[in-house]
Structure 1
Amino acid sequence: MAITTVHPTIAHLNKFQLEPAQHINGPLFVLAGPGSGKTNLIVSRASYMIEKGIDPLSMLMFTFTKKAANEMRERVHLKVGPRANDLTVSTYHSFCSRLLRKYANYLGYETNFTIYDTDDQISTIKKIAKDGMFKPRDVINEISSMKNKNITPQKALEKAQYEGTAKDKYVAEVYKQYQKELKEQNAVDFDDLILLSILLLRTQPEVKREVNQRYRYLFCDETQDSSSRDLDLIKLLAGDDMNVCLIADDDQSIYAFRGADINEILKLKARFKGLKVYTLQQNYRSTQTIVNAARSLISHNEQSYEKELFTENKVGEQLMFIDTQNQSQEASYISTLIEALTQNGTYQYKDIAILYRMNHLSRSIEEALLQKQVPYTVVGGLPFYKRREIKDIMSYIRLAYNPLDREAFERAIGVPKRGVGDKSLEHIHAYVRNRASNYIDALPNTDLRGKAKKGVEQFYTFMEKFREELYTMAPKDIVLYVVHGIKYIDLLVEMDEPDMETRVGNLDELVNIAASYDQVDEFLENLSLNVEDAEQIENSINLMTLHASKGLEFPIIIMIGNNEGIIPSWRADTQASIEEERRLHYVGMTRAKEILILTRPKMVMNQGRSQYQEESRFIGEIDPQYIRGRS
């Protein structure tokens, strides 16, 4: 009998992981349950391919966060050494941004385009839709939804004309003007990064040929979070060889509001012909009780692949479900429980995460923790690049890099105030539009008077010199050039900022971030694409939403607010939306390694009045044998 020798790079994998690890050519789909070692599989498969002689330059690995991308590269590096440096490991948006930086001219854009964030988008919409019929953020969401479905402005107008409401027609018209405005400013938004990349690959065969020749093997993690648009991109990048490895857990698809569509996962075989499906069923994270309890809940979903999850971990303790009278009692109970769990040294604060469906539910918990002087961190604070002082400084750098950037110009010329009001701005905008100019070159030619004229002259002098020197300086020195050049610290002092020290510290951190880049374009791109969480205290309780918890794990999970109207959300009014809410609850449960505690308040305050709340249906759907006191 012949003995099959397994390559040492993948010899540690279990029987469920070995087969997909050795499947190199053709499309495959790995259905990975929570805690089943999917990252281990991805890393091992990539390392195995490199060891078998596949050029890492030909491998493209997609993740949904930069943090996950860095971790993946580091883990491959540990297995194969410096060869891992040639891997392309990226988020979809980051990869598409780099692709467009190289080929944007094929689509009529300059390669130094600006990436607009939500604030830039809202500001642009406000200028287009001055009547204010609908909230700018709502309009942006509608446009984003259309982009997720590959609906162009022209298609949106046609659809609205024949079957749309008055709002549909309004949004479609604004969408058309919005895209025109972006193009004129040589700017794109986040959705455009993927849409334009798809357009590029569909309409430019020579570009597609070049890209397909470069990237012959694709890895796509967290595919359950993909939209139809994302999968269109993957298929175009995979080319004729279709060497694509899709990794997903359909039971953790919780981002419908971002365009993810569970139906796309269920239809993968139709999209990728010859797709081979593998299932990772062994959970390495949680106790048997937690795995079985979570499985009993998610079994109520109809839209799902069949899988039998199991674990060889210890049986573990039953879940705790705690009914409290109100939110204050719920918070008090949890703070007392935390003291009990940590007092003998078995667990530290950082081992505990408190999860909730909606942000406002953290308030009573925070108050209780503060009273007992228990340190905590609210994960997912204001993103670094959205802090005011960061946006102020970056607006100067963005404008010097792309003088057509209207949003950057309007912010920069107003910091510090230079007497340039709305009328002066409109005059400058008109000059730029009518003379096919840019905002820096237009400034000395605009016929302004008084304080505005003097302010514009000073601004032009600074920006012209700054633009000339932009590419001669390192990114760190560019930041310092702006901070010192416009005397920003003095400006903060004059404004009597109450959190002056924090803002100056943020500017110091911006300098530190810039110091890690060699080129200004890399610095600008990464600052635009990355959303960084607020600084975390090293040993503290972790407070976060259920959505933010995805991909994380903790020895102890406490899920609060298990009431109808909270989870499932009151907005969930269809079977599909209820199933997504159930998946969200399942995600929360499967973050727990050892202890899982579920709580709810019977009474909550609503507009100053105490109201009774029904227990979440999801609690009743968990097999009672796994819940203490219910079996």
Structure 2
Amino acid sequence: MAFDFGRANDQQKKAIVTTTGPVLITAGPGTGKTFTLVQRAIYLIQECGVLPEEIFIATFTEKAAKELVTRITNELAAKDISVNVNEMYVGTFHSLCLRIIKEHLEYSRLKKNYRMLDSFDQQYMVFQNLFRFRNIPNLDGVINAKGWKLAGEICNYANNLSEELVSPDALREDRDGFVVALGNMLSEYQSLLEEGNLIDFSTIQTECFRILKENPGILGELQEKIKYVMVDEYQDTNYIQEQIIFLLAEKHNNICVVGDDDQGLYRFRGATIRNILEFPFKFEKDQCKVISLTENYRSDSDIVDFYNKWMLTTSGSKFKFDWDKFRYEKKIVPHEQSKIKSPCVVKLASKDDPDEWHQNILEFITNLKQSGKLTDYNQLAFLFNSVKHPRVTALSEFLEQNGINVYSPRSDMFFKREEIMLVLGCLMLMFPRYVQGLEKMEYQYLQPEHYAYYRQCILAANELLRKEENKELRTFIKGRGKEHFSINDTLDYSYTGLIYMLFAYQPFSSLLDVDMSSGVVDVRPSRNLAQITQILGKFEYLHRINVLDGRVYKNERRIDANTNTLFNLYMRLLLDGGISEYEDDSEYAPSGCVSFLTIHQSKGMEFPIVFVDSLGNVPRKSYKELMSAVEDKYFHRPAYEPYDQMKFFDFWRLYFTAFSRAQDLLILTCDENSKTPSNYFKDLYMELLDVKSPEFDIDEFKFNTVKNVNIKDTFSFTSHISVYETCALQYKFYKELEFLPVRGSAQVFGTLVHETIEDVNKAALRNEEHLITKENIENWFETNYTSLIKSQHSYLAKPQLDAALNQVLRYVNRQNGNWSQIKQAEVDVSLVQPEYIIEGKIDLIKGEEDTVELVDFKSERKPDMEKMRDRIEQYRRQLHIYAYLIEQRTGQKVSKMHLYYTGEENSNPMISFPYTKSAIEGTVSAFDDTVHKIMKKDFKHGCNNPTTCKNCDFRHYCGNK
């Protein structure tokens, strides 16, 4: 049967069927890039007989990766094609590199239990270790900053140099003292990562590249396996990403890159447009096939004509630059011509009067809503150069004051939210000594704006506590305050624990009562409270605070020192650096909200009505002179775009991206004055009609609704099903809202036993049974323990360590040197279902011939079968799901399932279950039912187990019910 191309046009069809050799697909905005990628993957599977595990697709966001998997699996299901798409390499560059590192961890510089650093963690790590950088000669001449900003600049340099594979040793041999300083700085930074068993986003890629380059066997295995490579958003790749892609695709040379050079926005992250522009020249002449997608299905033809015209305003213009070889010549064409007389590109302005500008915008939105043309505020998006600018936040506050909710997760408004100010105010009031210091202004690291903010929080909290209905909360805070003022011993809770106690009282308990099906607007305060628990939990982790401690250390009570550090250092840095509110991948335009986004943030999105602001903007230099010199000497290829023209290229690409987000109506908006709009926009801007013009008739328009994001969620038995079945409220708080469990830290003992047994089993899998000696086991055990205590900040006493080691040795002795049955260890398995993805991790797979047995290790004594019947039944169901995953994924027959109790000293350490098809089908059916309850956000039932409730962080909240 012929392949069904669906609605594909001729160029899309060509892109879908051109599967061999190098292919460049240039895809303008709205030209069906994702559709083409999905169909290309299906064509490879359906028509070319390619196995999913032979396909590698790299994207730039987790959302894009999830959407690709969802759309591919849905299409295959519709065609009744059954394959294991979960075997496909699909993900962001970082997640795919991390997958390769995890699969070959023993060949990396990392140990087990390494910790991933996000951008704040990375900067905070450097900040805590600035003393190691301050003595580097000439570094102050390279970076003119101090404290937190100095740490940020060090991270920026380290990221850029790492991703360009620049060696610190090479820099240290330079004659220029500033370049030498950069080399010493990079070396010191890398030492910090290695000492702490840490990895950041940049070194994920460099570590993956190093594994591939230094281990021909690993590279060869991957090259043999991966036959087709596809890369999305290729214009945003950097040097290290290009190197990894070409390494993986080297054997089969079936490499397809997709992108739009006009939307290259991430130079500041190290991305280079040269990768997409030079791609065809990486191969022999005419070997690379270039296919252009230019038919736009997204936007009205007026909008397409407008952004085409924008890209041509440079030619022979007063701006004195030309695209030359730095852009593929192209013209985007609309799928159909506009069907209305009104222009679809207009302006909305005021005359040097911000209040008038606010009022005009409000009036326009109100008229839209009253006309019935606007059915949901989420059809509107405002795009800015920065959402943190006071002009932008003033507009946001004005709209919210007038009943229009604004969704702006990256505007750094987190700390201005009422619920956050209240919770911080209440927390500070429970530490009277700290509040006294605030009143006296005796904290040298706080600036006036910090004092002002903390006082606002305390005033808001006091206003709350004065109300009669909050009498219980007032009594609680006063009681804790007295205790913390005079305590000289330890308590059984930390700062995060105190927050959970607060949740028992109004108004916090009402925020937690929120119905999760009520929409993002209502859920946002609850998500913000969850984020506060994460912030405090990370602080306690980084500063090794398990409980509040009133004992004196170095002439100061620890509770006072830690509280000062919390507010005067950690929280202050978050206040200065900003923190984003929660963003939901599955709903980028929440119902009931107008979106305020940066232009960068809006990339890949589309909205029926788009306001583009920041028209006073002008091109600005984005490179550092020193880095230009380093690039010329030490980067692995010479500079590409002329330094003096980069700012123009970036400027035009930025606004091309902004203008092309609009589907039905594009509005350029500003408060006109002598500098706004800038000369770069003025000519085009002045040609536009105003929204109040009689020639602009809103009644002619019919606006699209915002498309639903099609993403499948992932569920596992242990992390999701068992949690939900135990307590749906716990699931709501920990899984849906993402509160941080205080008592949820990993059990060091059990993890240590598991990891060392894994080392033993993997040695057997490598046919290195001769290495399974007592001495090596002790070395593996010690290495694992060292990495564990670094990551968990938790220790075991010597009797516990001895007991853990004995469990491993006993397991080895019981094998009697017979390791032949072991097939896989620590196996991540997943399976794509019609509506969701199941995943799990199996400790051990063993067996003979075509059948396999599953083993799940438990680092405890074998339980009483009768007394612990419920727990054993739960474990049995977990093994059922694993058996189902293995059979569906590999086709292998599961014969038995075992629980192996490593703590059992004398009797048989295993509890075994036979394979029963009907029982497994029943467990899978129950799993499916539970997932559907979760997807419907049915979180009403609580827990009726007193032991579970006693150990739950929300026991105060539930107890007050």
Q: Give the TM-score taking structure 2 as reference length.
A: 0.49
Structure 2 partner of 1:108? 109
Give the whole-Å Cα distance in 2 for the aligned partners of 1:266 and 1:285: 25
2:307 corresponds to 1:307: no
The correspondence for 1:352, drawn from 368, 374, 380, is 380
In the TM superposition, what whole-angstrom CA distance separates every residue of 1:125-146 from its partner, at most 9, and x where no partner exists?
2344327554110111111111
Structure 1 partner of 2:583? 533
Which amino acid letter does the alignment assign opposite residue 351 of structure 2?
Q
Structure 2 partner of 1:339? 366
Deviation at residue 485 of structure 1 after TM alignment: 7.8
**Residues 191-590 of structure 1: matches in 2 within 5 Å?**
191-273=202-284, 274-299=287-312, 300=314, 302=323, 303-315=326-338, 317-326=343-352, 327-347=354-374, 348-359=376-387, 360=389, 361-380=391-410, 488-490=496-498, 493=501, 505-506=526-527, 533=583, 537-563=590-616, 566-569=617-620, 574-590=644-660
Which amino acid letter does the alignment assign opposite residue 337 of structure 2?
K
Deviation at residue 172 of structure 1 after TM alignment: 2.4
The SS at the match of 1:162 is coil
Deviation at residue 368 of structure 1 after TM alignment: 2.4
Give the whole-Å Cα distance in 2 for the aligned partners of 1:358 and 1:230: 28
In the TM superposition, what whole-angstrom CA distance separates every residue of 1:554-601 from its partner, at most 9, and x where no partner exists?
1100112311xx244586993211211111111110001111110222
The SS at the match of 1:333 is helix
The SS at the match of 1:600 is strand
- Taking a change above 3 Å as real, the CA distance of residues 20 and 304 of structure 1, as seen in their structure-2 partners, is same
The SS at the match of 1:542 is strand
- Unaligned runs of at least 5 residues, structure 1: 388-416, 418-452, 459-483, 514-529, 604-611
Give the whole-Å Cα distance in 1 for the aligned partners of 2:279 and 2:686: 35
Query: Alignment length, in residue pairs?
Result: 506
Deviation at residue 245 of structure 1 after TM alignment: 1.1
2:588 corresponds to 1:592: no
Give the whole-Å Cα distance in 2 for the aligned partners of 1:263 and 1:171: 25
In the TM superposition, what whole-angstrom CA distance separates every residue of 1:253-306 from its partner, at most 9, and x where no partner exists?
011111111122211123344321100010000111110110011123602101
The structure with the largest alpha-carbon Rg is 2
Deviation at residue 618 of structure 1 after TM alignment: 3.7
The SS at the match of 2:333 is coil
Q: Does the 8 A contact of 1:129 with 1:174 survive in 2?
A: no
- Taking a change above 3 Å as real, the CA distance of residues 487 and 296 of structure 1, as seen in their structure-2 partners, is closer
- Taking a change above 3 Å as real, the CA distance of residues 137 and 497 of structure 1, as seen in their structure-2 partners, is farther
The correspondence for 2:18, drawn from 15, 20, 23, is 23
Give the whole-Å Cα distance in 1 for the aligned partners of 2:42 and 2:413: 34
The SS at the match of 2:371 is coil
Give the whole-Å Cα distance in 2 for the aligned partners of 1:223 and 1:49: 21
- Taking a change above 3 Å as real, the CA distance of residues 293 and 240 of structure 1, as seen in their structure-2 partners, is same
In the TM superposition, what whole-angstrom CA distance separates every residue of 1:489-511 from its partner, at most 9, and x where no partner exists?
3356589999966799459969x
The correspondence for 1:615, drawn from 670, 677, 695, is 677
Residues 588-597 or 619-628, more deviating: 619-628
Give the whole-Å Cα distance in 1 for the aligned partners of 2:125 and 2:653: 36
Give the whole-Å Cα distance in 1 for the aligned partners of 2:232 and 2:290: 15
In the TM superposition, what whole-angstrom CA distance separates every residue of 1:420-477 from its partner, at most 9, and x where no partner exists?
xxxxxxxxxxxxxxxxxxxxxxxxxxxxxxxxx987xx9xxxxxxxxxxxxxxxxxxx
Give the whole-Å Cα distance in 2 for the aligned partners of 1:37 and 1:186: 43
Structure 1 partner of 2:53? 57
Residues 218-227 or 74-83, more deviating: 74-83
- Taking a change above 3 Å as real, the CA distance of residues 113 and 313 of structure 1, as seen in their structure-2 partners, is same
Q: Does the 8 A contact of 1:383 with 1:533 survive in 2?
A: no
The SS at the match of 2:334 is coil
- Taking a change above 3 Å as real, the CA distance of residues 278 and 178 of structure 1, as seen in their structure-2 partners, is same
- Unaligned runs of at least 5 residues, structure 2: 135-139, 315-321, 418-433, 435-487, 513-524, 535-579, 624-642, 696-961
2:59 corresponds to 1:32: no
Q: Does the 8 A contact of 2:527 with 2:582 survive in 1?
A: no
2:227 corresponds to 1:157: no
- Taking a change above 3 Å as real, the CA distance of residues 621 and 310 of structure 1, as seen in their structure-2 partners, is farther
Give the whole-Å Cα distance in 1 for the aligned partners of 2:333 and 2:2: 25
Q: Does the 8 A contact of 2:410 with 2:581 survive in 1?
A: no
Q: Does the 8 A contact of 2:668 with 2:685 survive in 1?
A: no
Give the whole-Å Cα distance in 2 for the aligned partners of 1:64 and 1:346: 35
Q: Does the 8 A contact of 1:100 with 1:111 survive in 2?
A: no
Residues 174-183 or 250-259, more deviating: 174-183
- Taking a change above 3 Å as real, the CA distance of residues 571 and 151 of structure 1, as seen in their structure-2 partners, is closer
Q: Does the 8 A contact of 1:101 with 1:112 survive in 2?
A: no
Structure 1 residue runs of 4 or more that deviate by more than 4 Å after TM superposition:
381-384, 484-487, 491-510, 534-537, 569-573, 623-630
Give the whole-Å Cα distance in 2 for the aligned partners of 1:533 and 1:309: 32
Which amino acid letter does the alignment assign opposite residue 357 of structure 1?
N
The correspondence for 1:136, drawn from 151, 164, 172, is 151
Give the whole-Å Cα distance in 2 for the aligned partners of 1:224 and 1:621: 29
The SS at the match of 1:343 is helix
In the TM superposition, what whole-angstrom CA distance separates every residue of 1:22-69 from its partner, at most 9, and x where no partner exists?
011111010000000000000111111111211011111111111111
Deviation at residue 217 of structure 1 after TM alignment: 1.0
Q: Does the 8 A contact of 2:409 with 2:581 survive in 1?
A: no
- Taking a change above 3 Å as real, the CA distance of residues 531 and 488 of structure 1, as seen in their structure-2 partners, is closer
Which amino acid letter does the alignment assign opposite residue 263 of structure 1?
R
The SS at the match of 2:295 is coil
Which amino acid letter does the alignment assign opposite residue 327 of structure 2?
S
Deviation at residue 248 of structure 1 after TM alignment: 0.3
Deviation at residue 101 of structure 1 after TM alignment: 1.1
Deviation at residue 106 of structure 1 after TM alignment: 1.3
Give the whole-Å Cα distance in 1 for the aligned partners of 2:607 and 2:502: 46
Give the whole-Å Cα distance in 2 for the aligned partners of 1:379 and 1:454: 41
RMSD: 3.7
Q: Does the 8 A contact of 1:297 with 1:623 survive in 2?
A: no
In the TM superposition, what whole-angstrom CA distance separates every residue of 1:334-360 from its partner, at most 9, and x where no partner exists?
121111122121123111101111221
Which amino acid letter does the alignment assign opposite residue 610 of structure 2?
I
Which amino acid letter does the alignment assign opposite residue 186 of structure 2?
Y
Give the whole-Å Cα distance in 2 for the aligned partners of 1:164 and 1:544: 42
Which amino acid letter does the alignment assign opposite residue 679 of structure 2?
R
Which amino acid letter does the alignment assign opposite residue 324 of structure 1?
S
- Taking a change above 3 Å as real, the CA distance of residues 259 and 532 of structure 1, as seen in their structure-2 partners, is farther
Q: Identity of aligned pairs, percent?
A: 25
